[in-house]
Amino acid sequence: MSGVRVLVGTRKGAFVLTADGTRKKWNVSGPHFAGWEIYHVKGSPVNPDRIYASQTSGWFGQLLQRSDDGGKSWEPVGNEFAYDGETGTHQWYDGTPHPWEFKRVWHVEPSLTEPDTVYAGIEDAALFRSKDGGKSWQELSGLRKHGSGSHWQPGAGGMCLHTIIQDPSNPQRMYIAISAAGTFRTDDGGTTWKPVNHGLRSEFMPDPTAEVGHCVHRIALHPSRPNVLFMQKHWDVMRSDDAGDSWHEVSGNLPTDFGFPIDVHAHEPETIYVVPIKSDSEHFPPEGKLRVYRSRSGGNEWEALTKGLPQQDCYVNVLRDAMAVDSLDTCGIYFGTTGGQVYASADGGDSWNSIVRDLPPVLSVEVQTLQ
Amino acid sequence: MITVTLPAHLRTLARVEGDVRVEVPGTVTRRAVLDALETAYPMLRGTIRDHGTLKRRAFVRFFGCGEDLSHEPDDAPLPPAIADGREPFMVVGAIAGG
């Protein structure tokens, strides 16, 4: 019997939501790590029972937890993220140099092929890799030492490396995204990196089309077409058909092109989802209506998905890591809100139900499809 | 044996209930107590003091015998009542919030 396991990180703990393939009746387990901020929880595609959780606290710092039994029990693994060599400075909000300092792990990305390899995206922005199941971490410092590093500047949420995407067809290629530096690609397994932001335009920058400095919120790809990338930028929904070498806008008829998450249907590589948010100064849905927008044409033409979602007086946000899809025959879509709801659609977004309604603010949502 | 009182979140992390007791060889200093604590409970590394620098985390304080010991030198002897186990060495998470 197939099923799904939804891994939810919140401001006050992690929750594991499980259901069979019908996705109608849910079991809620948690809070795990009660009282701690859980930025991200993600399972290994190679061994779905192996799950990593980033556990963090302003008081007690960073922990990495690992489960090897599908989230039933957890063990702390390595939590030392030491930058490689001289850290130097990046730009502070006011443009002055500021020393690089580790703050937290935003995102964990288990390897597509190696059960003991996992990547971590951290604030201040850097990429780390563990080859021993999270026990020890080494920086892939070619990224931070890219010539532009001293010019990177934090976004409002901090200078975080929040997105890590492995190319399933090419183990040497990987993409990462940093707020507010932009998107970078490696073609040699993480040794060297280049910015891939051509075509992005950010009016808040002195040079709106500069090579780095763009506030990329999230990127996504479909495994069957790894050269096609979709991006929710601070403003603008973007698309690249050449592995990030160039981007063009596909915001089309969206009511606002500000937002955080973006994701791709599991079986339809041209079907994508975003959650429009009113603006960067008003982090809630336009008109108090929570609407997921779906494009079946890879962008530009969007339809509002509203059935089952609150259409009045809704002023929550949906954060960048808080949307995911399952790969059951009828693709399931999931997202969590800062109001503590986790919504699920078992029919590709046509209709929605809340799995849970009153969790702490949701920071991340991931889904595992279990056979 | 030195008695160490941990804040609730760190007791949960270390999977202990109540105070913990650690053997501290030689002079009982803050550094020696924390070294012994982290040896006995390695999951606490990085949560009280930073990796590498071993500096106290900003929102963690150390108390004992009615005194704030947070700003004492790492290698200064702790009060005798802590050193002989009559009083606990307290690791405290700062009270913060609205």
Rounded to the nearest angstrom, the minimum Cα separation between A53 and chain B is 14
- Residue B56 falls inside a structural domain: yes
Q: What is the pLDDT of residues A155-194, one digit of tens each?
A: 888 999 999 999 999 999 999 999 989 999 999 999 999 9
Count of structural domains within chain A: 1
At residue A273, does pLDDT exceed 70?
A: yes
Subunit contact A79:B48, Cβ cutoff 8 A: no
Query: What is the number of other CB atoms lying within 10 angstroms of the CB of residue A280?
Result: 13
User: Is omega for the bond preceding A124 within 30 degrees of 0, making it cis?
Assistant: yes
pLDDT digits over A211-222, tens only? 999 999 999 999
Q: Is the pLDDT of residue B90 over 70?
A: yes
> Which position has the higher pLDDT, A174 or B52?
A174
Q: Verify whether the Cβ–Cβ distance A59 to B60 is below 8 Å.
A: yes
Work out the mean pLDDT of chain A and round it to a whole number.
Answer: 96
Contact: B46, A76; criterion CB under 8 Å? no
- Tens of pLDDT, residue by residue over A108-136, are 999 999 999 999 999 999 999 999 999 99
Residues in A 8-67 with any Cβ partner in B closer than 8 A: 34-36, 57-63
Q: What is the ipTM of this complex?
A: 0.94
| Range(s) of the domain holding residue A62 | 3-370
User: Is B98 a member of any domain?
Assistant: no
Q: How far apart are CA A7 and CA A15, in angstroms?
A: 6
Interchain CB distance below 8 Å, A59 and B52: no
Q: What is the CATH number of the domain that holds A208?
A: 2.130.10.10
Q: Does A348 have pLDDT greater than 90?
A: yes
DSSP designation for A367? E
User: How many domains are contained in chain B?
Assistant: 1
Interchain contact, A60 vs B60, CB within 8 Å? yes
CA A368 to chain CA mean position, Å: 15
Q: Which residue in A34, A36, A79 is closest to B46 by CB distance? A: A79
Q: How far apart are the first and last CA of chain A?
A: 6
Chain B residues with CB inside 8 Å of A62's CB? Answer: 46
Residue A371 pLDDT > 90: no
CATH of residue B89: 3.10.20.30
A64 chain-B contacts, CB cut-off 8 A? none
Longest distance between any two alpha carbons in chain A, whole Å? 57
Find the domain containing B87 and state its range. 2-93
Residue A156 CA neighbour count, 13 Å, CB half: 6
Of residues B47, B51, B52, nearest to A60 (C-beta): B47
From chain A, pick out residues whose CB is under 8 angstroms from the CB of B70.
none
